[in-house]
């Protein structure tokens, strides 16, 4: 008997995906550059399903039913190209290569074009949920051709997370669309984590709560509209006590956040596409600031308010204010991320269903949340929605959050608590609201020093003012 799918690259992610497939009754061919991982998988988990271990590329390819479907789950970058080059010559027209690693979507577009010329389908696929997700049901974001999804889709949907019976997997769009959407997912994840971290910092800084108390606050929030995986694990991390010192875990961890790069990609691409994803950008910058020990000079050399606490009436209700500010800021961050997907879709010609994207993020992935069901609903009701901020429920929530949001950002500024995520979300919101922006002045400055011209509110055309002359005459460019 042959295998319906093969997995090459059997480190933690590949191993768990292969086990997930086998547990769902699919026969899985196994391969890894070095044999050890293949043997170990069969030794430890062989009883979970039907595996066909292969110890050469040829053996692996021969173990597969046609059209062959090969999932590559190796270290992203050059290793992916090396593995593609190893297998592609052994495959035949119509076979499918799936890259489930964290590839940059531009690499995926390049690989897809090259393999298409050779008659092969190449499906760059985002997989979210870490190793647990890979084993128990991840959120899966496949790109590539529609034709490839006909054979591959049912398998991937089968092993994906399910929410209300719906699989957290859908065909996202052609070539790199899946990896693009996975990238934005990670960017949104950065923003969401930053906002949650700022909420913690505010509750601690402004109210003087201990981490264990704040864990309770998050636990309560997790029973409401903020119900999400990230809030749930936040409560657990905050409640954790370091065994060695007896101190709160968060107080013994070095406060320098690391990153593997997908958040940075999101911002780089956001800049290229001209999409204002300030929430994601601030989250990436906040991580890099935290890592700059050299710049973090401290309050002895950098003057500012001392860290006083709120008292009495001011303190009362502040936690509720933070909840509203967090929710509103989160809506902004997601609105920006979905706008980036929209922009990527137009730029690269992908027909991305934003409601479907929200739907497959409801389970399996790191940003899974009740909230995403509302986003799905918003795009289902109005597919061309320019921003989530105008959609019914979100619009009402943001209206309701106004006073709290502004109080929280003002309080943070007064107390000297850094809240780049909250602040930029509010600034973005006010930017969208403003009847006039000082961009008009910037156009004037640009025209002054660079004759870059400007458009007028009252007439069509491009205009230039002769700034260097006495009469400053205006001419049409
Ligand atoms: P790693 O990223 O650590 O990659 C290890 C695997 O890559 C091993 O199977 C290794 O083979 C193989 N490999 C490395 N270089 C080569 C090469 N030149 N040729 C052939 N094979 C090579 O494994 P993970 O399981 O952590 O991640 C796999 C992919 O999934 C990555 O792209 C990652 O970004 C992505 N991902 C990871 C998540 C996570 O939570 N870890 C979540 C979502 C996606 P060998 O055993 O021979 O060294």
Question: Are 327 and 225 spatial neighbours (Cβ–Cβ below 8 Å)?
Answer: yes
Q: Could you tell me the sign of the dihedral formed by the alpha carbons of 202, 207, 212, 215, in that order?
A: negative
Residue to mutate, 8, 13, 229, ligand 1, most ligand atoms under 8 Å from C-beta: 13
Active site residue 189: yes
In this structure, the residue with its CA closest to atom 32 of ligand 1 is 101
Phi-psi region of 130 (alpha: psi -120 to 50; beta: other; left: phi over 0): left
DSSP state letters, 4-51: SEEEE--SHHHHHHHHHHHHTT--EEEE-SSHHHHHHHHHHHGGGS-E
Residue of 112, 157, 189, 198 with catalytic role: 189
Residue to mutate, 8, 9, 124, 139, ligand 1, most ligand atoms under 8 Å from C-beta: 9
Which of these, 423, 80, 108, lies nearest to 269 by C-alpha position? 108
Residue of 112, 157, 182, 198 with catalytic role: 182
Query: Which amino acids bring their CB within 6 angstroms of ligand 1?
Result: 9-14, 32-34, 37, 73-76, 79, 82-83, 101-102, 127, 130-131
Residues making up the annotated binding site for NADP(+) are 9-14, 32-34, 74-76, 102
Interval between CA 81 and ligand 1 midpoint (Å):
13
Contact partners, residue 99, CB within 8 Å, separation at least 6: 72, 80, 84, 108, 111, 122, 123, 124, 125
Per-residue pLDDT of the chain (477 residues; tens, 9 = 90+): 899 999 999 999 999 999 999 999 999 999 999 999 999 999 999 999 999 999 999 999 999 999 999 999 999 999 999 999 999 999 999 999 999 999 999 999 999 999 999 999 999 999 999 999 999 999 999 999 999 999 999 999 999 999 999 999 999 999 999 999 999 999 999 999 999 999 999 999 999 999 999 999 999 999 999 999 999 999 999 999 999 999 999 999 999 999 888 999 999 999 999 999 999 999 999 999 999 999 999 989 999 998 789 999 999 999 999 999 999 999 999 999 999 999 999 999 999 999 999 999 999 999 999 999 999 999 999 999 999 999 999 999 999 999 999 999 999 999 999 999 999 999 999 999 999 999 999 999 999 999 999 999 999 999 999 999 999 999 998
Give the whole-angstrom CA distance, residue 410 versus residue 384: 34
């Amino acid at each position: 008997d042959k295998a319906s799918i093969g997995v090459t690259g059997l480190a933690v992610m590949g191993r768990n995906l292969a086990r997930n497939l086998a547990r769902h009754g699919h026969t899985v061919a196994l391969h890894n550059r070095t044999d050890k991982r293949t043997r170990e998988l069969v030794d430890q988990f062989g009883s979970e399903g039907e595996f066909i271990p292969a110890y050469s590329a040829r053996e692996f390819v021969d173990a597969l039913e046609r059209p062959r479907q090969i999932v590559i789950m190796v270290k992203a970058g050059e290793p992916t190209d090396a593995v593609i080059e190893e297998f592609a010559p052994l495959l035949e027209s119509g076979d499918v290569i799936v890259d489930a690693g964290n590839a940059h979507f531009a690499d995926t577009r390049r690989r897809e074009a090259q393999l298409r010329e050779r008659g092969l389908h190449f499906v760059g696929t985002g997989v979210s949920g870490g190793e647990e997700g890979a084993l128990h049901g991840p959120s899966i974001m496949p790109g590539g051709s529609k034709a490839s999804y006909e054979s591959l889709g049912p398998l991937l949907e089968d092993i994906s997370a399910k929410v209300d019976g719906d699989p957290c997997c859908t065909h996202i769009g052609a070539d790199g669309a899946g990896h693009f959407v996975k990238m934005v997912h990670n960017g949104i994840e950065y923003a969401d984590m930053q906002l949650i971290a700022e909420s913690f910092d505010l509750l601690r800084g402004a109210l003087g709560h201990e981490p264990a108390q704040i864990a309770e606050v998050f636990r309560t929030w997790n029973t409401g509209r903020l119900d999400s995986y990230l809030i749930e694990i936040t409560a657990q991390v905050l409640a954790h006590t370091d065994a060695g010192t007896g101190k709160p875990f968060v107080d013994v961890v070095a406060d320098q956040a690391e990153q593997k790069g997908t958040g940075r990609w999101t911002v780089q691409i956001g800049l290229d596409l001209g999409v204002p994803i300030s929430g994601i950008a601030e989250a990436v910058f906040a991580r890099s600031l935290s890592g700059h020990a050299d710049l973090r000079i401290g309050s002895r050399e950098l003057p500012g308010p001392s860290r006083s606490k709120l008292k009495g009436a001011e303190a009362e209700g502040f936690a509720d204010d933070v909840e509203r500010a967090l929710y509103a800021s989160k809506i902004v961050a997601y609105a920006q991320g979905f706008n980036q997907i929209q922009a990527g879709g137009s730029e690269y010609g992908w027909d991305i269903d934003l409601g479907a994207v929200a739907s497959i993020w409801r389970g399996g992935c790191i940003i899974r949340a009740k909230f995403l069901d509302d986003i799905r609903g918003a795009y289902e009701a109005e597919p061309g929605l320019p921003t989530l901020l105008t959609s019914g429920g979100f619009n009402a929530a943001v209206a309701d959050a106004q006073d709290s949001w502004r109080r929280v950002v003002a309080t943070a500024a007064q107390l000297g608590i850094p809240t780049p995520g909250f602040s930029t979300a509010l600034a973005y919101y006010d930017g969208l609201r403003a009847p006039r922006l000082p961009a008009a002045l910037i156009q004037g400055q640009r025209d002054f020093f660079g004759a870059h011209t400007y458009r007028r509110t009252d007439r069509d055309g491009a205009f230039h003012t002769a700034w260097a002359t006495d009469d400053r005459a205006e001419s049409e460019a």
